[in-house]
Amino acid sequence: LESNILFDRKYDDVPDHWPHVVVVGAGFGGLSCVNRLKNLPVRITLIDRHNYHLFQPLLYQIATAGLSPADVATPIRGLFRKDGNVRVVLGEVDAIDSKSKTVTFGQNSMDYDHLVLATGASHSYFGKDEWAPFAPGLKTIEDGVSVRAHVLRAFEKAESSSDPSRIERLLTFVIVGAGPTGVELAGAIAELARHGLKDEFSQIDPARARILLVQSGDRILPAFPKELSAHAAQSLEDLGVEIRLGSRVTNIAADHVEIGKESQIATETVLWAAGVVASPAGRWLDAETDRAGRVQVDDHLRVTGHENVFAIGDTAGSNGWKGNPVPGLAPAAKQAGNHVAKSIENQLLGKAGLEPFAYQHQGSLATIGRKSAVADFGFIKLHGAIAWWLWGAVHVGFLSGTRNRIAVLVNWIWSYFTLQLGIRLITGKDSGA
């Protein structure tokens, strides 16, 4: 009978004796956990430093003028408007006391009975944080809008410049890291230069832009099978992207990037897609972490040595993929969030324990450009147009909200038939000349 109070009631109407579950982070894992728990007799507080859920797999399309921020982000409060036992709080957690079971964010704090950390990851420059101002990564909407402005300004500055050497430097784009994000960025910038900006400049030819993809390993998309990596490399080269394998960046400055000990490339645009580091959740808890900052967890994603504290997604150092580390993918985070919610449910209802968390790989996809993508489902491997259509269908399906799905589809259909990108807006201040 108590479950009836969840509908059309205020959060204050929820009984105080219901267990309080605090979820930190409204990414894929956090939302998956809340969506299952909200149907139980529990009080839920969802804390995030943003008021929106971001669909990160399409963030690169904001950076390359393909989509608007509103197309890939959904206000969190709207997702739980009808759920009386869910409270959404805007705040950035900076401390956790697992002994007193309190979470602190800014000047506020709250008690919890169960805590779920789904705080994601940020860029890792492998100890070279001084490169950050010259080589932004893509993790937030602000990153995407800033990179978009920087890329578009490069073309605008080249148009107004009378210095041939600076024009060449401005029209050189370097992407560091050839995982899915790096590959998708390189392909999108190449298509923007060759199709999206065609015939729009009088003094420069955007199609002459030089796009370099730098990878320290021996192939791009190292998590994919070798044959799909080869197909992706060929597709990028067909777009004019230069791929440098076995190359390690040794320095990044405002007007150049150094590769190895001898090679120096003049450029004013370097984009970072080479690595990530987990959020500081491990430091909040004083918990054991791995080299990437992921918190060590047990088979049920409980943080080692901390009662009723769970970590999921990029926050957790789980080996739940047949003994291997769970990849930092959206499906993995969603599965982890669902598992933790089930674990809390069983504990509250006195049910038998669950089987250990086991990540079920649903496949990997990466798009290179127009009608070109790769897809690996283990039992079947696809590339080319069919993989591209599948990539689009999967990403639209994962988006939150009907409005976002329609907006993305309309933008993609428009771009497909016109070869134009409609979100070519330069926003924000620029101190450069």
Q: pLDDT tens digits, residue range 179-195?
A: 999 999 999 999 999 99
Single-letter residue type at 353: G
User: Beta strand pairing status for 43-48 and 86-90?
Assistant: parallel
According to DSSP, the residues that pair with 122 across neighbouring strands are 277
* Model confidence pLDDT, tens digit, residues 220-235: 999 999 999 999 999 9
Pick the closest to residue 30 from 2, 10, 8, 54 (CA basis): 54
3-state secondary structure 241-309: CEEECCCCEEEECCCEEEECCCEEEECCEEEECCCEEECCHHHHHCCCECCCCCEEECCCCEECCCCCE
Percent pLDDT > 90 in the chain is 86
1.20.1370.10, 3.50.50.100, 3.40.1790.10, 3.60.15.10: CATH of 129-274+370-418: 3.50.50.100
| All CATH 3.50.50.100 domain ranges in the chain, comma separated | 129-274+370-418
Sign of CA dihedral 286, 291, 297, 298: negative
Q: State the pLDDT confidence band at 281, using cuts at 50, 70 and 90.
A: very high
Mean pLDDT of 70-80: 95
At 88, the amino acid letter reads V
Give me the mean pLDDT over the 367-371 stretch: 93
What superfamily in CATH does domain 2-49+91-123+276-349 come from?
Answer: FAD/NAD(P)-binding domain (3.50.50.60)
Return mean pLDDT, the chain: 93
Strands 93-97 and 102-105: what pairing?
Answer: antiparallel
Average pLDDT over residues 362-379: 93
Residue whose token pair is 């009907």 = 402
Confidence tier at 7 by pLDDT (50, 70, 90): low
pLDDT grade, residue 275 (50/70/90)? confident
Please say whether the dihedral angle defined by the alpha carbons of residues 353, 357, 361 and 366, taken in this order, is positive or negative: positive
DSSP 8-state assignment for residue 352: P
Count of CB atoms situated within 10 Å of the CB of 179: 19
Tell me if residue 184 is catalytic. Answer: yes
Q: How confident is the model at residue 432 (pLDDT cuts 50, 70, 90)?
A: low
Residue 354 is predicted with a pLDDT of 85
Per-residue pLDDT tens over the stretch 95-141: 999 999 999 999 999 999 999 999 999 989 999 999 999 999 999 99
Output the pLDDT for position 349. Answer: 86
Average confidence (pLDDT) over 308-317: 96
Cα 253 from Cα 395, distance rounded (Å): 35
pLDDT band at 408 (very low <50, low <70, confident <90, very high): very high
Q: What's the CA gap between 359 and 172, in Å, rounded?
A: 40
CATH 3.50.50.60 segments of the chain: 2-49+91-123+276-349
Q: How many CA atoms lie within 13 A of 285 on its CB side?
A: 29
Q: What pLDDT, on the 0 to 100 scale, is given for residue 323?
A: 93
- Point out the catalytic residue in the list 184, 200, 307, 345: 184
DSSP class of 5: G
Higher pLDDT: 58 or 14? It is 58
Per-residue confidence band for 1, with pLDDT thresholds at 50, 70 and 90: very low
